[in-house]
Chain A
Amino acid sequence: MIFETAFWLPIGIMAPLLAALCTFLAPQRMSPLVTMIGAGITFVAVGFLSASLVRNGPARHTVGGWGAPLGIDLAVDGLAALMLMLTAVVGAAVALYAYGYFNFSGHGEETKRRYASFWPLWLFLWSALNALFLSRDVFNLYVTLELVSFAAVALTALAGKPDVLRAAMRYLLVSLVGSLFYLMGVAYLYGEFGVLDIDQLKKTVTATPSLAAAAALMTVGLMMKTALFPLHFWLPPAHANAIAPVSALLSALVVKGSFYILLRAWLEIFYPLSHTGAPYLLTGLGGAAILWGSLQAIRQVRLKLLIAYSTVAQIGYLFLLTPLLFVKEQSPIALSGIVCFILAHAGAKAAAFLSAGAIQLVTGDDRISSLRGLMQMQPLAVVAFGAAGVSLAALPPSGGFIAKWFMLHAALAHGDRLVAAIIVVGGLLAAIYVMRVVAPLFRQPDDAVLHRLTLAPKTMTLTALGLAVLALLLSFAGIPVMEMLSIGAVGILGIE
């Protein structure tokens, strides 16, 4: 039983959901404990799910015995399992950090009460993300997408300041419009092919105008939610103004959720359109995102805005190789590069936001100019940021480097020199914005300022450091990721 994939599939979704409900029922001071128990169970479920996937191959579960096309089907393959594991690891680390963050002596009573809603919202988000990764039906995906968005918007608003409420409102509107586009695309698909299950769609799709309309609508909708340039405008204020643990969740996981659907949709539904200009358009937008996002990041004077613009830039890499996903020789390498990038970016970006949060608690503001000399005060947080920066700038040894190695290899082997050039220049620009933060940290401190600072709790700095080290250790992720992706044969290998 414990090695039966189907047994663990619903637990991965239900455990965090039930824990979220329990946090409402239990007294408020118990919330962190309930969350930790729920997180623990989810963690175990995801672990066993992945282990049995490796042992037994991909699996499918029909909820309540009602199969496709009417019921709800859950399915797991290598790609989904990697996303589940990523969410579990980053999510659990962020939860530990949040515990230290909320108990920091500097917060007032009223603030602490508001922060208490973090726990159920986070569990709810986790449940929704897991459901998203496991759904095999374009309409169910719409539902999970909405759930993810609502949880994410509520989490953003948690900071409670006027700036963040405005940002959260904008985030909500963009999300709703994005979902609407997506839903219209689903309607086109259903109208033309009469099914919503991805595996059935995969067999029936042909390059018709309706498919093209569906592709256009769904891609635009998901682009909005993933914040691909030029639809990224909502992201920097939302990610920069949220509290640090939330920023980490938004940048590391939430944008990856909508990208995951986009990736699957193109690989498994829209592939008959691969010879059109659409994949190249995505490449172009990805390249523009890298350049524009990096240049904006370099210009920022606030630390968290810099990190948020870095996310805008890094999202570009996810789209850069879209055409190569449909080229037989390059497809596995390109896909491995993209997935490695998702993992490395999640670890590194979460670490960057978490260490920024720790530093921000210490300095009291998040201007880059206040960072001077903090290496002496908060060495762990600084090293965490530095290590995360190594991965963001794709310098070895790091997961970011391995991801870019795959991408560069695929691009050059296919002769796309321009794409390779953008990857390389993007790395240098990233090094520049990372150094804008790191350099002042090494400066001689201003003693008068340092002595009145209080230190951030070790739980915070250590979780940030842990995630950053993870991003570095992902140097060795190349082969495991490729092997996982071969389970269930995601991508064009599964089509033929």
Chain B
Amino acid sequence: MDWESSLPLLLFLSSFAPGLVIFFLEEEAHTTRTVLNLFGALLKLALLAIMVPGLLERKVYETRLPLLPEIDLVLRADSLSVLFIVLSASLWLVTTIYAIGYLEYSPNRSRFFGFFSLCVSSTMGIALAGNPLTFLIFYEMLTICTYPLVVHRGTPQAMHGGRVYLAYTLSGGVVLLIGVIGLYVLAGPVEFVDGGALDAIGAQSPEALRWLYPFFIVGFGVKAALVPLHGWLPRAMVAPAPVSALLHAVAVVKAGAFGIVRVIYDLYGINLAHALGLIDPLLIAAAITIVVGSLFALNQDDLKKRLAYSTVSQVSYIILGAATFGLFGAIGGLLHLVHQGVMKITLFFCAGNFAETLGIHKVSEMDGVGRRMPLTMAAFTIAALGMIGVPPTAGFISKWFLGVGSLQAQNDWVLGVLLTSSLLNAAYFLPILYRGWFKSQQGEWPEEHIYGRMETHWMLLFPPAVTGAFVLLLGLLANLPLGLLRWVEFLILLEYRL
């Protein structure tokens, strides 16, 4: 194995190996643990930086390990996986900083950071998976490694949340397993290919492919929180804030959405999926999820729960884009894969800061919080406006493309869905902003901690400030050469074989 073909494996190991070491560290080894965590995160970004120039020249980096007769364990960095990796690796770095600030002085740190690293490693595996079996292996590994994080606090609510989480995701995993193995039995060893890998089978036995499709969608839909498979997500909110950030923006929910994108683009291929009539039902499911998720979010007083239902709704924008036949919709969906991650992680960081600094968990307790924590509230505001889709934030760009795309695909009703959803987003985010900025504080904060002259610990403040700035930058500089939009356009042209 030469140096270049080992790069994808190194990308996986850069968080896996530190994770294993961290498990064996003493609780008191703060410095070693922090160094290991940051070393892994930075090494991962460095490896990416090495690969990006090659990827621009359409080089493919691939690691193959023999696993089963004719089926290898394939880790391959192609243009789609790099999109997901760049997102996860960068957000992981900020989340690690945040988690150190949030948890480094509470119990069971080695366990927490160990599983935290394993989660990110699994996400790398999912992003790099070059065939359905590899994808399945890391997808299940992610389920297993996230459980200890969800139940981290060990309280009865946490245990309940963890139980529900596993019940949903393991069942989803089984459904996916049936789909994957059915595919291998039908089509032999298949790998993900830009533009789709099943054309020959599609011509031969379209019925079988139609049969297998729901297994993939349901299997991934559980993690992507497609209504009615979303029940675990709000209950998993009992986890500490960095875990919520990980679940919603970096790893779990994203893995589900990414899986659906992979199946449509690189397994079936958008043209075949369209020809078999498979994308329209998905479009309807995504549209329902978008509206229903937002409706649920309206009534939540618990801030994190409101954000959780907002995720249910927002992740389906990605699926909506993938299920829209046409370039603009597809671009909008993939853009939202990144944009939603950056926006949602900002919101969760801020929610964590409110809880950690002032003891605020409910929307109704947020009156006047903008004066006490102006930077956090500013980041929250930018991200919330992004969720609504206000220009010039990142959220506006993806919604714009989705809107144009649905008109282009002659799905005019989808535009109505998008507008309704934006209205609903405004209806549940604007009251928070209003309370935070314009209402005055009512009595004492529930549980206030003072961190010197700053509004909160710097490790808690820095991450949302950075990601909040990115929400703006991704919107303002969208059209830059080498920017995200260019990359996504390049990718979609490959997927549509244009």
Contacts and interface: CB of A to CB of B under 8 A. Distances in A.
Interface of A: 373, 375-376, 379, 383, 390, 395-397, 401-402, 405-406, 408-409, 412-413, 420, 424, 427-428, 431, 435, 439, 442-445, 475-476, 478-479, 482
B217 interface: no
Given A412-B181, A439-B162, 18 more contacts: A379-B23, A390-B144, A395-B173, A396-B137, A396-B140, A397-B141, A408-B177, A409-B181, A409-B185, A435-B163, A439-B151, A439-B159, A439-B163, A442-B148, A442-B159, A475-B137, A478-B67, A479-B67
B281 interface: no
Interface string B357-397: 00000000000000000000000000000000000000000
Interface residues of B, number: 35
B182 A412 contact: yes
Contacts of B159: 439, 442-443
A376 to B, nearest CB: 7
7 contacts: A373-B154, A376-B107, A396-B140, A405-B68, A420-B178, A428-B170, A482-B69
B65 interface: yes
Given A379-B111, A444-B155, A428 B171 contact: yes
A427 B178 CA distance: 12
B497 to A, nearest CB: 31
B153 A444 contact: yes
A476 B67 contact: yes
Contact of B181 (A373, A397, A402, A405): A405
B67 A444 contact: no
A135 B153 CA distance: 55
Centre residue among B68, B141, B182, B184 by max chain A CB count within 10 A: B68
Interface in B139-178: 140-141, 143-144, 148, 151, 153-155, 159, 162-163, 166, 170-171, 173-174, 177-178
B181 A478 contact: no
Centre residue among A397, A428, A482 by max chain B CB count within 10 A: A397
Contacts of A376: 107-108
Contacts of B170: 395, 428, 431
Contacts of B68: 402, 405-406, 478-479
Contacts of B185: 409, 412-413
Contacts of A413: 185
Contacts of B108: 375-376
B136 interface: yes
B452 interface: no
Contacts of A412: 181-182, 185
A409 B68 CA distance: 12
Nearest to B182: A412
A302 B137 CA distance: 32
Nearest to B110: A379
A427 B176 CA distance: 13
A405 B182 CA distance: 11
B140 A375 contact: no
Contacts of B177: 408, 424
A476 B181 contact: no
Nearest to B160: A439
A395 B153 CA distance: 25
Contact of B184 (A379, A402, A409, A443): A409
A387 B438 CA distance: 52
B66 interface: yes
A412 B133 CA distance: 16
A401 to B, nearest CB: 8
Contacts of B111: 375, 379
A334 to B, nearest CB: 13
Contacts of B66: 476, 479
A173 B65 CA distance: 49
Contacts of A439: 151, 159, 162-163
Interface in B249-291: none
A31 to B, nearest CB: 33
B236 to A, nearest CB: 14
B166 A431 contact: yes
Nearest to A406: B68
A201 to B, nearest CB: 31
Given A396-B141, A397-B137, A409-B185, A479 B171 contact: no
A476 B65 contact: yes
Nearest to A444: B154
A478 B133 CA distance: 14
A2 to B, nearest CB: 29
Contacts of B171: 428
Contacts of B162: 439, 442
A476 B151 CA distance: 30
A412 B68 CA distance: 17
Nearest to B184: A409
B254 to A, nearest CB: 19
Nearest to B122: A397
Given A376-B108, A412-B182, A435-B166, A396 B67 contact: no
B36 to A, nearest CB: 18
Contact of A408 (B140, B144, B166, B181): B181
Nearest to A438: B147
Contacts of A475: 67, 137
Centre residue among A375, A396, A443, A475 by max chain B CB count within 10 A: A396
B309 to A, nearest CB: 26
A373 B155 CA distance: 11
Contacts of A479: 66-69
Contacts of A383: 23
A435 B178 CA distance: 22
A428 B181 contact: no
A445 B154 CA distance: 8
A421 to B, nearest CB: 9
A427 B154 contact: no
Nearest to B70: A479
B115 to A, nearest CB: 10
Interface in B1-27: 23
Interface string B177-205: 11001101100000000000000000000
